[in-house]
Structure 1
């Protein structure tokens, strides 16, 4: 199943905002946008893997070994997790949270996913 256009646009916007925030050296905001992109992508294998690849690249630029290891594992399991419907909703996707841990979802993202 492919992403609906509105969901795809929101996912791409989050990735773009992450890039802009990182360019301004606002790393906290950049990571937040990557987490939001991850939440939006979880039910779609290709975008889900892409969000983890972006998180891996962010970790690489920060020289964050914990994030690199965590994202490497997530890159491998993200696609199958999406295909099997096993991605936990709301999970922000970082190495600081469990791979299968569901998390509260921001209301604006819930509205996009429910719509």
Structure 2
């Protein structure tokens, strides 16, 4: 993972974890979605991100999110490994698993600076 992406991914994940620990699950999930966009091309960050999304789903007692994250945990690493990830996908169960989405401008700039095509 390029240092620019790693730094941004780590910041989003740290923010998400801090909000999770404060029981601010909606806000936490927002930062997990941003981290997902940055880390989905890399096996370990991608899988780790879905683990945290599952944790939020469990805290919210959201059966759809729990099931969706279990499925994603099973396939996320493989998708990253073979380069089959939907660019811009935020990773939540409310989005199709292979749905491509527009990338927020600030994240797009980071991806471009890191040499990742968007």
* Cα displacement string for residues 72-105 of structure 1 (whole angstroms, at most 9, x for unaligned residues): 0001110111112110010000000100000010
d(CA) in 2 for partners of 1:79 and 1:25? 28
Q: Among 58, 61, 78, which residue is 1:60 paired with? A: 58
In the alignment, structure 2 segments of 5+ residues that lack a partner are 114-118
RMSD: 1.1
Q: Does 1:31 align with 2:29?
A: yes
Higher deviation after alignment, 68-77 or 26-35 = 26-35
Question: How far apart are residue 23 of structure 1 and its match?
Answer: 3.5
- TM-score scaled to structure 2, two decimals? 0.90
* Cα displacement string for residues 34-91 of structure 1 (whole angstroms, at most 9, x for unaligned residues): 0001110111011001110110111111111111100000011101111121100100
Give the number of equivalent residue pairs.
113
Question: How far apart are residue 9 of structure 1 and its match?
Answer: 1.1
Higher deviation after alignment, 13-22 or 43-52 = 13-22
In the alignment, structure 1 segments of 5+ residues that lack a partner are none
Q: Among 3, 9, 12, which residue is 1:11 paired with? A: 9
Higher deviation after alignment, 93-102 or 54-63 = 54-63
TM superposition outliers: structure 1 runs of 4+ over 6 Å: none
- TM-score scaled to structure 1, two decimals? 0.92
